[in-house]
């Protein structure tokens, strides 16, 4: 005769996992890196008339830039170099080199 075995149900074992201790953390700001940036621009102008002379162009641009600079003395942007380049009788270029401090 077959012996009767009562079916058993097993429960999954439950374990309580204690929380993992976390070391106290402090948030600090990243160090500020200060440096400078140089920007080089070249503007090319095409004219119907013959190009103006270097002195005419540079005096006009210098006057404009001087006016702008006196209005913003605390501005970290500085013009390092301004160059005139005659390309042809009807084309000339202006090269501006900017320096930006405390970037």
* Residue in the block written with tokens 């400078």: 36
**Looking at residues 10-21, what average pLDDT do you find?**
70
* pLDDT higher at 92 or 28: 92
pLDDT over 70 (residue 8): no
pLDDT in tens, 49-103: 999 999 999 999 888 877 666 555 567 777 788 899 999 999 999 998 988 887 7
User: How many other CB atoms are there within 10 angstroms of residue 96's CB atom?
Assistant: 16
pLDDT of 70 reads 56
pLDDT of 74 reads 67
| Cβ-proximal residues to 91 (8 Å cutoff; 6+ apart), any chain | 44, 45, 46, 47, 51
Under the banding of pLDDT at 50, 70 and 90, the label for residue 28 is confident
Nearest residue to 60 (alpha-carbon basis) of 94, 17, 29: 94
């Amino acid at each position: 005769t077959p012996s009767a075995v009562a079916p058993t149900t097993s429960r999954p074992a439950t374990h309580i996992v204690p929380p993992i201790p976390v070391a106290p953390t402090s948030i600090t700001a990243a160090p500020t890196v200060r440096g400078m940036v140089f920007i080089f621009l070249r503007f090319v102008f095409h004219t119907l008339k013959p190009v103006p002379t270097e002195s005419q162009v540079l005096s006009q641009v210098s006057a404009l830039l001087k006016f702008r600079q006196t209005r913003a003395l605390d501005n970290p942007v500085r013009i390092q170099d301004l160059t005139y380049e005659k390309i042809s009788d009807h084309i000339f270029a202006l090269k501006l080199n900017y320096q930006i401090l405390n970037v």
